[in-house]
Structure 1
Amino acid sequence: MTEQSIDNILPSSEKNVKQWYVVHTASGAEKRIKEDMLRKIAKQNMTDFFEDILIPVFGVSEVKRGKNVKVEKKLMPSYILIKMNMTDKSWHLVKNISGVTGFLGSKTTPKALTESEIQNIFNNLEAEAKEAKNSKLYEVGEIVTVIDGPFETFMGTVEEIDQEKNRLKVSVAIFGKATPIELNFNQVKKND
């Protein structure tokens, strides 16, 4: 560090205590930075200084090209949570990883998260994951386009949804008459 060392800034009660810190990273580079961090920690025999490195993500189902796929969404894009013992050596290890732009706090003094702040992040992550699990890909009344099967290119209205079987009952107009047909999620796409 430039002016004062971390070891001199931290109160003696906080030395040798692992706390959660927030590290800002280059956008989209969180996974690579975490892997680089783990490699450097192991290479420099500093595993005793680090307890956990987390990228807060949750899984969500999306329809892409007519297929139901699971994707990871970041709760805090461009941020990594690290539970570590903050020393000059550990600070420099993290700060010198390519793609790390800094710690949350002042430029020279990282700010540890309080218990309530870290609990709030974990609660938000849990709530987002639960909401994503319960979110519906389709809604009754929604207009969709059939992209596979004998009714390909037909537009219809979603009448019923069977989340467990990944099936929809869609009403399409055949010869001017609304006709319900059953389709898999991957046989339709949402209209934008």
Structure 2
Amino acid sequence: MSEAKWYVVHTYSGYENKVKANIDKTIENRHLEDQILEVRVPMQDVVEMKNGVQKATQKKMFPGYVLIHMIMNDDTWYVVRNTRGVTGFVGPGSKPVPLTDAEMAPLGIRQENIVVDFQEGDTVQVIAGAWADTVGVIQSMNIQKQSLTINVELFGRETPVEIGFAEVKKM
């Protein structure tokens, strides 16, 4: 099994977020979380002047393109290639070419080793966001997304909620 690399996928212009959502849904449905690790539409902060008012917005760095961190094999290639809105991988002919580390550096995407002081089964308290002051037990952790899933009681039943690492502290 080869290691995961970043690939560039060409999409219809304006369909980048739909393609990302569709691939994310397919990953979940087909249980490919261990093969397609991350789908990203690179954005950059831009300050615009409109009617004399400064407004900070986010713009796509590469309109018409989506970055995918995945292990290339027949299954993952098929899933991505046959996603609605995808016109193909970037590379000569039909062979996808992974981005090099030098090409990834200016995009601000780095493989960071995150060290957290909690693990699955630990009890944590949410300190920020909509679920602030909620206490729950960690059910699963996603290091790529820097998030974890806890069960919270909602309307009398346990409901899984995904929360970022920065929003919790160990009890």
Q: What is the TM-score of this pair, normalised by structure 2?
A: 0.59
Q: Does 1:103 find its partner at 2:60? A: no
Cα deviation code 1:67-87 (max 9, x no counterpart): 332221221111111110001
Whichever residue aligns with residue 102 of structure 1, its letter is G
**Identical pairs, percent:** 36
SS in structure 2 opposite 1:77?
coil
What is the 5 A alignment of 1:1-192?
A: 15-122=1-108
SS in structure 1 opposite 2:10?
strand
Aligned to 2:165: none
User: What is the number of equivalent residue pairs in this alignment?
Assistant: 109
Residue ranges of structure 2 left out of the alignment (5+ in a row): 110-171
SS in structure 1 opposite 2:56?
strand
Deviation at 1:56, TM superposition (A): 1.1
Distance 1:121 1:24 in 2: 17
Whichever residue aligns with residue 25 of structure 1, its letter is T
Deviation at 1:109, TM superposition (A): 1.1
Whichever residue aligns with residue 15 of structure 2, its letter is A
Whichever residue aligns with residue 21 of structure 2, its letter is E
**Structure with greater proportional helix content:** 1
Distance 2:8 2:39 in 1: 10
Distance 1:70 1:31 in 2: 20
RMSD value, Cα = 1.6
Distance 1:68 1:118 in 2: 30
Distance 2:29 2:60 in 1: 28
Cα deviation code 1:76-125 (max 9, x no counterpart): 111111110001000010011111111111232110111111113338xx
Deviation at 1:51, TM superposition (A): 1.6
Deviation at 1:66, TM superposition (A): 4.2
SS in structure 2 opposite 1:113?
coil
SS in structure 1 opposite 2:34?
helix
Distance 2:51 2:28 in 1: 41
Mean CA deviation greater in 85-94 or 110-119? 110-119
Whichever residue aligns with residue 54 of structure 1, its letter is R
Whichever residue aligns with residue 100 of structure 1, its letter is V
Distance 1:95 1:85 in 2: 14
SS in structure 2 opposite 1:48?
coil
Distance 2:51 2:18 in 1: 28
SS in structure 1 opposite 2:20?
helix
Distance 1:43 1:71 in 2: 33
Whichever residue aligns with residue 93 of structure 1, its letter is V
Residue ranges of structure 1 left out of the alignment (5+ in a row): 1-14, 124-192
